[in-house]
């Protein structure tokens, strides 16, 4: 199998079409334009009605330019979000997956949970790989990620003609159930997906569990409970973002997540070292114990 270009969209340079906006710069340009047309306005006071009109005009121009910036981002895969991303995906064509259908009959109704922008964007980026029928790793990855219940997948070839796909599930610690694994096998074994000479094996990803135990030292003043809640929230977001194949969990990420406002120092007890993961493994935070104490 041949490799594919998995471009990190977050590392792309800022597009030139998106301006860096400055109200002060726009206002200064308008004042200079006004003075060039009528030198009588050279010494405008802050209270001068003409200056107020210029400030309103400058503010409206900045709003308009921001709208142009937003419109430009809306047609770029790296920046499009929400329905803009949905419309870009329609060109591939792909639709956003339903993670949880919710319950419209509940009181109050529970709305469906949809695939996140980040997950959907990755599938859209991989979509051209699925056009191939030659069995490249990117194609297998694309088709695996399109199966409901799959959060991530890793593709390798231990020997010529052999394809090994590890699957990370959406629920719990990431271990996929047999229904999900069976669906991936069916998707990757379809005649229009798998080359005749490839033997495809699908396995569950290996889960590397870890626990976080830390003491957050604060100066007198902040509420211990408030600090713990905020730190727990940022830690949960960090753990969720790293719960993908091959990412692992670096201690530096844990320290950064726990160093929230009000925390003077973090004493991280566990894990004692970086949680390293191979491409077919995913790090899962199995528990969190946070204590707050005065410096």
**Span 58-107, pLDDT tens digits:** 999 999 999 999 999 999 999 999 999 999 999 988 999 998 899 999 98
Within 8 A by CB and 6+ apart from 280, the residues are: 154, 156, 166, 203, 205, 206, 245, 246
DSSP run (H or E) holding 169: strand 162-169
User: 199-204 and 162-169: which strand pairing?
Assistant: parallel
Q: Which of 109-113, 121-125, 129-133 has the lowest mean pLDDT?
A: 129-133
Within 8 A by CB and 6+ apart from 87, the residues are: none
Average pLDDT over residues 116-121: 93
pTM: 0.74
In the CATH scheme, what architecture does the domain 98-204 have?
Answer: 2-Layer Sandwich (3.30)
| Residue spans per domain, the chain | 11-74, 98-204, 207-294
User: 281-294 and 206-218: which strand pairing?
Assistant: parallel
Q: 213: burial class by Cβ within 10 Å (0-12, 13-18, 19+)?
A: middle
The more confidently predicted of residues 220 and 190 is: 220
What would you report as the CA-atom Rg of the chain, rounded to the nearest whole angstrom? 26
Residue 191: predicted pLDDT = 75
pLDDT at 177 over 60: yes
Q: How far is CA 126 from CA 2, 4, 77, 170, 202, in A?
A: 14, 9, 12, 19, 19
Residue 130: predicted pLDDT = 79
**To the nearest whole percent, how much of the chain has pLDDT over 90?**
75
Residue 222: predicted pLDDT = 81
Residue 2: predicted pLDDT = 43
Average pLDDT over residues 173-200: 89
Q: How far apart are CA 269 and CA 40, in angstroms?
A: 70
Q: 254: burial class by Cβ within 10 Å (0-12, 13-18, 19+)?
A: buried
């Amino acid at each position: 199998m041949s490799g594919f270009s998995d471009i990190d969209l977050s590392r792309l340079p800022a597009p030139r079409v998106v301006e860096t906006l400055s109200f002060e710069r726009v206002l200064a340009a308008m004042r200079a334009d006004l003075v060039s047309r009528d030198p009588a306005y050279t010494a405008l006071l802050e209270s001068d009605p003409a200056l107020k009109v210029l400030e309103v005009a400058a503010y409206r121009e900045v709003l308009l330019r921001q709208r142009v910036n937003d419109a430009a981002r809306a047609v770029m895969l790296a920046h499009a979000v929400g329905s803009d991303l949905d419309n870009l995906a329609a060109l591939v064509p792909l639709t956003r997956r339903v993670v949880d259908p919710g319950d419209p009959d509940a009181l109050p109704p529970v709305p469906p949970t949809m695939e996140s922008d980040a997950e959907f964007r990755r599938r859209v980026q991989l979509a051209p790989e699925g056009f191939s029928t030659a069995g490249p790793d990117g194609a297998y990855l694309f088709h695996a990620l399109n199966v409901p219940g799959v959060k991530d997948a890793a593709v390798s070839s231990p020997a010529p003609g052999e394809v090994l796909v590890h699957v990370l599930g959406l629920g719990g610690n990431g271990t996929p159930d047999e229904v999900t694994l069976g669906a991936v096998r069916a998707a990757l074994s379809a005649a229009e997906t798998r080359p005749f000479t490839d033997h495809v094996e699908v396995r569950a990803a290996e889960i590397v569990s870890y626990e976080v135990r830390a003491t957050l030292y604060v100066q007198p003043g902040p509420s211990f409970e408030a600090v713990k809640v905020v730190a727990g929230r940022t830690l949960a977001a960090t753990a969720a973002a790293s719960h993908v194949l091959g990412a692992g969990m670096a201690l530096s990420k844990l320290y950064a997540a726990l160093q929230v406002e009000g925390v003077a120092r973090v004493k991280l007890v566990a894990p004692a070292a970086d949680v390293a993961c191979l491409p077919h493994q995913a790090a899962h935070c199995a528990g969190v114990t946070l204590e707050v104490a005065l410096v």
